[in-house]
Structure 1
Amino acid sequence: MADDKDDIREPADEEGLKVVDELKMSRTEEPEYTVNFEKLRDKIVYDGMGNKVKFGDIYKMQKTIIVFVRHLLDFVTKDYVEDLGMIPLEYLQSSDVRLVVIGPAPYKFISDFKKETGFHYTFYCDPDRELYKELELGQEYEPTDVSKSKHVKQNSFMGVLRGMWKIMRVQEWQGDVKQQGGAFILGPGEVVHYIHIDKNQIDHAPINELLKRAGVQQVSFPKDPRVQEL
């Protein structure tokens, strides 16, 4: 394979659908990764009201940034989604790009999580993690140094403390703690533009990298100068 990171080639298959033939994951070499739309398109996610949505309908009509996050009590997830929520709507609209976040929790937690993070874009849940499994997103937890993330504002001690307090308050986990996430830019139709598979808790794709890959104007995060550097 070439040394270029996140390298994607998109040949058409026999049915005329574009698939990923070869992909270089970020930060390390990985084996070939194929997006099997046939197995993915009819998988179901849920909105905040419990309505079912086919995964294939999310990116069918529009180029879409789809971010799979960890459990909703994870302070890293909270900080990352807060920054995703700072992307101006006009930036996305001017490039005709949609932003969607998917979590591994029951849908009943969506409303409170969006209020807590200020995230006003589309949020779905995959409580049985069928998409996570089909996309081969990691399922092992690995302790990491959160200070290395460009999007985490809390320190580990306070972040974990707040998470444990929420668990005691709601008496229920909001997703599998071992489940890792990833980011995809798909569509319109079954076309892959970019993939990032998270290797650990903080290995999420930098938001400005996602925007650049999707052809969207990048965002300034004045409260955290680290984020301005890709």
Structure 2
Amino acid sequence: MAEALSPITRQVAKENEEIGSPSVDYRLEDVEDCLIYDRHGVPVPFKKLYQDRKSVIIFVRNFLCYSCKEYVEDLSKIPGEALEDADIRLVVIGQSAHRHIEPFCSLTGYPHEIYVDPERCIYQKLGMKREETYTDSAHPSPHVKSGIFMGQLKSIWRAMTSPAFDFQGDMHQQGGAIIAGPGPQVNFSHFDMNRLDHMPIDWLLQLAGVQQTLDFSDKPKILHV
């Protein structure tokens, strides 16, 4: 389990499942007043997400990205009661205009909290990567089912058939995940190196303190451990 440090955090290397380099140093105080927007365009200070309780916050690349779509589809399988029992919030943050939130949730079936950071204020201040880096030792996301070629075709088709044709965010921006709160305490962070470098969801849930494991292999099923 990642070491809890405040306000400094370290990234877990998925290859060996232990704390390793590179480390990522940042302060949540630097982004706490950045505004994010809900599906109605209502602004919310970022700090509201983690002030009162622990939150798992997922930053996605863009809403057209096929790998983000499939990752969020698996996030949608997490039962609300599992989060409530652990007293944690699950939040997805994108970087599109707020008008794309509703269609994305309809597409993925995602029922939990979701916001957008259209100016990428938080992405940039936290130091999330722009452009992609691949390594031979990297383990691709277990939540992405499509190959790169077919996935990109699906993304292009969605863009072409969308009522508002745009890329729904910076196509080069990478995402990540942090576990924060209560307060500015950072318990864990992982910044994606590329579109397939998602933190496995079951790892995130365990790190956040969820005492259940979700099976993503077929239909969602809670296994008590």
Q: Same fold (TM over 0.5)?
A: yes
Instruction: Classify the secondary structure of the residue corresponding to 1:8.
Output: coil
Paired residue for 1:104?
95
Write the mapping of 1:72-221 to structure 2, written as runs, cut at 5 A: 72-142=63-133, 148-170=140-162, 171-216=165-210, 217-221=212-216
Distance 2:61 2:158 in 1: 16
Alpha carbons 1:103, 1:126 under 8 Å: kept: yes
Residue range with higher mean Cα deviation, 143-152 or 164-173: 143-152
Alpha carbons 1:104, 1:174 under 8 Å: kept: yes
The normalised TM-score by structure 2 is 0.87
Paired residue for 1:48?
39
- Residue 143 of structure 1 and its aligned partner are, at CA, apart by 6.9
- Relative to 1, partners in 2 of residues 1:33 and 1:219: Cα closer, same or farther, differing over 3 Å? same
- Relative to 1, partners in 2 of residues 1:160 and 1:147: Cα closer, same or farther, differing over 3 Å? farther
- Relative to 1, partners in 2 of residues 1:221 and 1:79: Cα closer, same or farther, differing over 3 Å? same
Q: Which amino acid aligns with 1:149?
A: S
Distance 2:204 2:213 in 1: 9
The normalised TM-score by structure 1 is 0.85
Alpha carbons 2:141, 2:199 under 8 Å: kept: no
Q: Which amino acid aligns with 1:126?
A: D
Given candidates 54, 57, 60, the residue that maps to 2:48 is 57
Q: Which amino acid aligns with 2:122?
A: L
- Residue 37 of structure 1 and its aligned partner are, at CA, apart by 2.2
- Relative to 1, partners in 2 of residues 1:181 and 1:52: Cα closer, same or farther, differing over 3 Å? same
Instruction: Classify the secondary structure of the residue corresponding to 1:102.
Output: strand
Write the mapping of 1:24-39 to structure 2, written as runs, cut at 5 A: 24-27=11-14, 29-39=20-30
Select the structure with the greater relative contact order (CA < 8 A; seq sep ≥ 6).
Answer: 2
Deviations 1:95-126 (A, max 9, x none): 10110000111111000000000000011000
Paired residue for 1:23?
10
**Deviation beyond 4 Å, 4+ runs, structure 1:** 142-147
Percent of aligned positions with the same letter in both sequences?
39
Distance 1:84 1:179 in 2: 20
Given candidates 186, 210, 222, the residue that maps to 2:217 is 222
Distance 1:81 1:63 in 2: 20
- RMSD over equivalenced CA pairs, Å: 2.4
Alpha carbons 2:132, 2:193 under 8 Å: kept: no
Query: How many pairs were matched up?
Result: 213
Residue range with higher mean Cα deviation, 147-156 or 80-89: 147-156
Distance 1:148 1:188 in 2: 31
Distance 1:95 1:38 in 2: 25
- Residue 71 of structure 1 and its aligned partner are, at CA, apart by 0.9
